[in-house]
Amino acid sequence: MAAAEGTGVTTGQPNLHKQDLQKLDVTKLTALSPEVISRQATINIGTIGHVAHGKSTVVKAISGVQTVRFKNELERNITIKLERLQFDENGKVTWPEHLRGREVDLTALTKEDENDEVTPQRKGVKRKWYSSKKRKPVNVTYAKEYVVEKILEHEVRSGNQMFLVKWKNYSNEHNTWEPLDHLEHCPAVLMDFFTENVGKQVLDALSEKLNVSNNLNQHALLEMLKQVDLTTLPEKVTLQKEILRLVATPPKERYVKKLEEGKRAILLYQLFLKREAQLEKLQNWENYINSKAKEEAIIKVENNFDLEEPPDDFVYINAYIAGNNVEIPYKPASGCDCDECGPRKKQCCGRQDPNSFTYRKRDKINIIPGMAIYECNDLCKCGPDCRNRVVQKGRKVPLCIFRTKNGCGWGVKTLRKIHYGEFICEYVGEVITHEEAEIRGHTYDAEGLTYLFDLDYNSKDNPYTVDAAKYGNVSHFINHSCEPNLAVWAVWINCSDPNLPQLALFSLREIEKGEELTFDYMTNNMVSPSNTPEKSRPKLQTPEKNEILAGRSICKCSADSCRRYLFN
């Protein structure tokens, strides 16, 4: 190369030479030209400031940008690193990706450079260089996706479940047998196949073959599956897959362990089907309750204990309904003239003697159980935000009707913390006469039901009773306790009949989230005239120690002061 260029060695290394670019005819350069000996050049350009800062700039030799200015800079000091070039089949240099720039016609560029003069206006202007050709889009080839149209058959091969798949837009001759893990991304198709092939007939036949009863009631089924948690049952697809395996390869009698596992799989699937139907009914019932209640706070329904379904004959209501021979007059006789009700207003409906008020601030009860509540009514001048309008504003506490584990059936728990004195809900039902209550009472006592609430607040004759057995609200499901966390107050608002108060439940203490709500079914807080006759229906009472009362239902509240027995 030194002989060809006619220049001397510029460094102590014999392979490094200085080139005179003025003598270089770029139109005659080829891939095999001795001048083209490197694909990298290190250029020290003092005018740009790289040398001053001890830095070097790596650029592409020959195939990069060629201008008069750039040629002058190249002439100053170019150190060529000797390295073997790589060429393609056409003899062109193949540059590495990180050094590849735009392609230019060197012949045309050289001719242009001869007439190119740097004008004063262009001095000092920085040039930005971009590729003149758009990069070709990279064509990525993906694996073709096939859509499962239907699963046709199932069999077990060497212990693995295989499914015959019909592919969409392909004829049956292209059907293939696929393992289960190949079908995980099409659960709907799998579910359709399982539903078709794990029907009642298949289940009955399998149950008969493995000697498993398929007519077990919910109690027997749960008894056989004592350790099963209803909230953590396996997925339906998992259970159906196991049933299909049993159908394809039923265990033989001599394999006792596999036989027991097969029986348990059938029982689990039966349980799942019952649970699935139950959850659907519970959700529908919850939707029905909230559509009827139309209150600010929601009511949830939950049963994680057994397979009991919602009561069929219960009608949800928000206020009293009148029974036969009963009229409820919703016309108040008088109202207060307060602009803003409070304890200092002597004529206010909510004033209590001596110098107290029915409610504290933030709608908390301020009187002891047994005292009457007179809320402001439609004739009062105060507005709906009056401090003495609490019960009529409705329930604010979210509640949950749930299945208890102590044998008390359905119960009610709170979904948030309840403060002392907070209004919970009303006790509503069908208002019936005392005579009708006596007739119904004998029937309810025999069945262990306790839904009759006597309105014995004003009259010694006890003319009315609230029956919440068929018609009621969430209070219908609140259980009894001898140490309750709720109490009942009689409330008069718009009804002018002193014998027909509304019944409101308030908290007696702070109640934690998730705690069950209870009140005393036979509370003695309700003050009535001393000459009120005794009711013929038996009430809660505390028997003597070891005394057994025949025909009485046992109280299950487990309180320290439990009275042990409920109604007949």
Helix, strand and coil content of the chain, in percent to the nearest 5, comes to 25, 20, 55
566 near 521, Cβ under 8 Å? Answer: yes
Burial of 185 per CB tally in 10 Å (0-12, 13-18, 19+): exposed
Place of tokens 């207003």: 345
- In sequence order, what E strands does 382-528 have? 399-403, 410-414, 423-427, 430-433, 452-454, 464-467, 471-472, 479-480, 486-492, 502-507, 518-519
Q: How far is CA 242 from CA 51, 154, 209, 262, 265, in A?
A: 77, 12, 15, 8, 7
Q: Nearest 10 degrees: CA dihedral of 292, 294, 296, 300? A: 20
The DSSP symbol for 49 reads: T
The verdict on whether residue 557 carries a ligand-binding annotation is yes
The answer to whether 408 is annotated as binding is no
Whether the Cβ atoms of residue 357 and residue 384 lie closer than 8 Å to each other: no
Residue located via tokens 């770029």: 26
d(CA 164, CA 441): 64
Give the Å distances, CA to CA, from 53 to 57, 89, 126, 265: 11, 42, 20, 79
562 in a labelled binding site: yes
186 is in an annotated binding site: no
Euclidean distance between CA atoms 377 and 466, whole angstroms: 22
- Nearest CA to 485 among 411, 408, 383? 411
| Strand order from edge to edge, sheet including 78-80 | 57-59, 41-43, 78-80
Q: 89-104 burial, b if ≥16 CB within 10 A, otherwise e?
A: eeeeeebeeeeeeeee
Rounded distance, CA 438 to CA 480, Å? 21
Over the range 425-440, which residues count as b (16 or more CB within 10 Å of their CB) and which as e?
bbbbbbbbbbebbeeb
425 annotated as belonging to a binding site for a ligand: no
Residue type, 154: H
Closest Cα partner for 493 from 364, 383, 309, 333? 333
Contact predicate 376/349, CB 8 Å: yes
519 close to 478: Cβ distance less than 8 angstroms: yes
Q: Tell whether residue 380 is among the known ligand binding residues.
A: yes
Is there a binding annotation on residue 386?
yes
Annotated binding site for Zn(2+): 336, 338, 341, 348-349, 376, 380, 382, 386, 482, 555, 557, 562
Annotated binding site: 336, 338, 341, 348-349, 376, 380, 382, 386, 482, 555, 557, 562
